[in-house]
Amino acid sequence: MIDEDVKKQLAKIAGTIRQLSMEAVQKADSGHPGMPMGCAELGAYLYGVLLQHNPKNPKWVNRDRLVLSAGHGSMWLYSCLHLSGFALSLDDIKQFRQLHSITPGHPEYGVTAGVEATTGPLGQGIANAVGMALGLKMLASKFNREGFPLFDSKVYCIGGDGCFMEGVSSEASSLAGHLQINNLVLIHDANNICLDGPLAECMSENTKMRYQAYGWDTYDCDGYDFDQMDAIFSEIRQHQTKPVLITLRTVIGKGSPHKAGTHKAHGSPLGAEEVAETKELLGLPKEEFCVPQSVRSYFEQRLPKDSALEAQWNEMFSKWAQQYPDAAAEYDKMQKLHLPDDLEHILKNLEIKASIASRASSGACLQKLGHILPQLYGGSADLSGSDLTMMKEFPIVTAANFNARNIKYGVREFAMAAIASGLSLTGMIQPFCGTFLTFSDYMRNAIRLAALSPYHVIYQFTHDSIFLGEDGPTHQPIEQLASLRAIPHLHVIRPADSHEVKMAWLAALRYKGPTALVLSRQNLPDLNETNVPYDEGMGRGAYIVKKEKGRPDFTLFATGSELSLAMEVARNLEKLGRHVRVISMPCWALFEKQPEVYKHQVVDGDLGVRVSIEAASELGWHKYIGRDGIAICMEGFGHSAPATALAQEYGFTVDAIIERLLPVSRRT
């Protein structure tokens, strides 16, 4: 039971959350006041009583984490963060949704202290929270010792009715139940209202029973009863054995005399008159953005206790490090996401047999990297035998064993990508995940948020073109390369052979954002010309692999499996008296970051007829080959057939390309 005086303070805190939230939305003339007002008591309890964290050090590794999946309710989170002592001022609250403020419309990781994940598109925060909780379980299994619970925190996540309708939440929750992740608490803001109207107009399932079927424990809670909240959350803190769903019964826009309980409180300001009436009805101060001194004092008194929690943990950590120096050394590497200084040399000297698929050479790199990078954890969407993402000498994560580094995500691509983002957010795990390139469409929104944030996630996409063959056009990617390249800050790398694959992994590990490695199913020959230092090849994004002998008649741009084809075309054109430059362009994004003088040396000037060769959509290539350049590409979907037959059908052969190029040569 909570002390009566504390309950009175929590009620005042809840009133302040309501006031700050509705006034900030009103001032911005934009936003969602309903969720913050409906969940104000929850915010007061979580930040005023339950959460074990330190607002003065938001990155304390063993903090409880709170993810707001219902990101449209961001003013709830900003109000809670401001009141509890995070680096978010009242002036920041007043700048809600304004240009360059740290209170954007939906929470963004890295922008606002205390925001644990970038949430907006509904449901993804749930999957992010699953990833965080899974990551912390794996870290606990690796580092905790008897008497030294380095990792024993909880991950709390708040989702609205919309989050539970989005499929990604189902995928992620299913996996969490399968693995019995018992440090995850999902709070369902069950107000039975969505943006368009009552929830009953579009949803009638029993969400609680669905989660029971997933293998979760479930609770019902009155969203305005502090004693009931405390009883449930205290029970979970002490005795949780499974992931937990709490159905929190709330009223959207609670306190608003004319809009509470309706969709009118969901996605637009209440209106100045309604705000004034709400404040009068609830007995809130007339002064705008007012925080009562008693509320300030409550959290000021709590802050030393929060700091003391971390101080106690630091003392325990020091004793643990002295007693387990080897584990402490590995902890330090993981915390720094350490990469050996000689990593390029290690990868360069990794023995990989020639003429294998780039998925296979990438798999070989993973086997090596797994041993030298303890932070590397990965998994696949039921395709590890095909995308070759399994680190063979490490176990698979199960409900009985979290001291493992391979995750079987099942056929849950969207959740896999969002969970991988959550793993990255632990700060000590370098996640990778794999599937076929065409299925990147399922993952796209999670990849987009990883690029926006950014999160350090590596996506291994295999079966990268029509040359995967007989599975046919449903599985043959055409537009996916262009689609992924369109995402800002995502490095899309399509390596040509094992030499470029090795350096692609170096690029992905060094880059502090997301990378998509795009790999072949079919075998590829190794090229001597790609066996160059990182800073002269892959690190540049594009580089000349064959220099012309005179003024070029043709310049061939290629990536991946088509680079060896381009080299063969160039040799045959030279036999016909033509001068040809060949450029390997595995990563456009890296190339665009190069100094202008380097870019000019590679792609500018009189280069003759410019030709791109890539078994995918031509979209984007004309930036490099010009309006009049020739794109050897796919102009439609493929067919089900062997790769050799497809190459003939779509003109990806030496003879077909030369036949197309010779008529446009400047020399006949």
Cα–Cα distances in angstroms (integers) from residue 442 to residues 449, 513, 518, in the given order:
14, 20, 16
524 & 607 share domain: no
355 & 432 share domain: yes
pLDDT of residue 667: 57
Q: How far apart are the first and last CA of the chain?
A: 91
- Give a yes or no: residue 273 inside a domain: yes
146 & 34 share domain: yes
> Which residues share a beta bridge with 249?
190, 222
547 & 521 share domain: no
pLDDT of residue 1: 79
253 & 204 share domain: yes
548 & 522 share domain: no
Cα–Cα distances in angstroms (integers) from residue 317 to residues 147, 174, 313, 327, 511, in the given order:
11, 34, 6, 11, 30
Cβ(214)–Cβ(244) below 8 Å = no
- Give a yes or no: residue 41 inside a domain: yes
pLDDT of residue 502: 98
The per-residue DSSP string of 447-514 comes to: HHHHHHTT---EEEEES-SGGG-TT-TTT--SSHHHHHHTSTT-EEE--SSHHHHHHHHHHHHH-SS-
507 & 590 share domain: no
100 & 209 share domain: yes
Paired tokens of 46: 């979580």
pLDDT of residue 354: 86
Paired tokens of 140: 């606990």
20 & 105 share domain: yes
Regions of the chain short of the pLDDT cut 70: 666-668
pLDDT digits (tens, 9 = 90+) for 98-139: 999 999 999 999 999 999 999 989 999 999 999 999 999 999
pLDDT of residue 135: 98
Active-site residue, 205 included: no
CATH number of the domain to which 29 belongs:
3.40.50.970
Paired tokens of 147: 């008497």
pLDDT of residue 665: 78
Domain count within the chain: 3
pLDDT of residue 120: 87
281 & 413 share domain: no
What range defines the domain where residue 435 resides?
343-530
The residue out of 509, 530, 551 marking a domain boundary is: 530
**Of 108, 344, 413, 614, which residue is the catalytic one?**
413
253 & 355 share domain: no
pTM of the model: 0.98
d(CA 518, CA 526): 17
pLDDT digits (tens, 9 = 90+) for 197-223: 999 999 999 999 999 999 999 999 999
